Structure 1
Amino acid sequence: GLENIPADKPVLFVGNHRGFFDVIISYTFIKGRAAYVAKKEMSKVPILRRWMANIKCIMLDRNNTRAALKSILTGIEYIKNGTSLVIFPEGTRNKGEGVMEFHAGSFKLAE
């Protein structure tokens, strides 16, 4: 439970992305303590763009390897500087029963 999350050091939160509300629900529990990694396309939605900027969201361009690497390096810096990070390593919502393959970049953040 929440009592197991250290308050004095950053945490990498890794979750299955089952639906749209995953982000909203997780945000209510870790509000102000973490940034999120999100696909760049989400920044095209005006209200989301503003909210995501406020929570220091890292935008990941999945179609540009160099930009994606830069996003991963930014995430590593966030963690080194004391900001927790939330990722959904499947890279998209998974409405199936199983777990989809994780994207390799998520493992770099965990190192």
Structure 2
Amino acid sequence: MPAILLIFYRIYQVVIMCPLLIVATILTAVATVIGSALGFGGWWGYYPEILWSRLFCWLAFVRVTVSGRENIDSKVSYMFVANHQGAYDIFTVYGYLGHNFRWMMKQSLQKIPFVGWACRWAKQIFVDNSSPAATRRTMERAERLLSGGMSLVVFPEGARTWTGEMRPFKRGAYRLAVEFNLPVVPLTIDGAFRVLPRFKKLPVPGHIHLTIHKPIHPSTDGHDLSRLMEESRSSIASVL
């Protein structure tokens, strides 16, 4: 983006975009908490967040295109695994995946005002690896969610990349998929690193492409953990 346009874009972000998103975040959080408290968390923990996420993209002039929606069924529970390029990965998946799910997310995100509050009420899974007992409790919460038929989205890299290249994958999500014999759906997010990498504070306009790959179904003997990790990582990398 030319320097003069970037200056006007930053002014727009400070004066218009950021205030609107702050208001939208507060309203979405309040709606999620109230709806979840009334016993409708399955709906209020997902659908308001779609509009919230799309606002983050629309107001930042970030275009998102999706391919592969025909590969998933809204009535099936999946373990979605995605690469983690930047903060806009969250808005891309939340806003455009088109399948109700809950996140497995970093424990530190609970501290974000309003967002952490809403996530707790919506029963997102905060990953606590501070001790073996805490890790076990995290897995138990995820197991209860999956046993109820909900899908999960996980970034198996564990954190955003610094370079744009994928980091090594962790096993946690795959162990759950093996235990519950769930189809694993790889998601490729391409372009979010250019929009907002982890070492920047504000986004720039851009185009993000979300690819929903075909599910990796368990065999008659169940999943093989190593093969599952390798195959899903290969699928994600294939369109980067």
TM class, shorter-chain normalised? 0.7 to 0.9
Is 1:55 matched with 2:140?
no
Following superposition of structure 1 onto structure 2, how do residues 1-111 of structure 1 map, counting pairs within 5 Å?
Answer: 1-30=68-97, 33-111=100-178
The amino acid that maps onto 1:45 is I
Any gaps of 5 or more consecutive residues in structure 1? none
Change (3 A) 1:43 1:91: same
Q: Contact 2:84–2:166 at 8 Å: present in 1 too? A: no
Deviates more, 1:2-11 or 1:48-57: 48-57
Q: Supply the RMSD in Å over aligned alpha carbons.
A: 1.8
Matched residue of 2:103: which SS? strand
Q: Contact 1:72–1:108 at 8 Å: present in 2 too? A: no
Deviations 1:37-78 (A, max 9, x none): 111111011122133124321011132232122212321221
| TM-score (normalizing by structure 1) | 0.86
Any gaps of 5 or more consecutive residues in structure 2? 1-67, 179-240
Matched residue of 1:46: which SS? coil
Q: Distance in 2 between matches of 1:44 and 1:30?
A: 26
Q: Contact 2:74–2:99 at 8 Å: present in 1 too? A: no
Change (3 A) 1:49 1:31: farther
Change (3 A) 1:31 1:70: farther
* Percent pairwise identity: 28
Q: Distance in 1 between matches of 2:84 and 2:114?
A: 21
Matched residue of 2:73: which SS? coil
Q: Distance in 2 between matches of 1:67 and 1:27?
A: 27
Structure with greater helix share of residues: 2
Q: Which has the higher contact order (CA 8 A, sep 6+)?
A: 1
Deviations 1:10-35 (A, max 9, x none): 11110011101111110112467100
Q: Give the total of aligned pairs.
A: 111
Q: Contact 1:32–1:55 at 8 Å: present in 2 too? A: no
Deviation at 1:97, TM superposition (A): 4.0
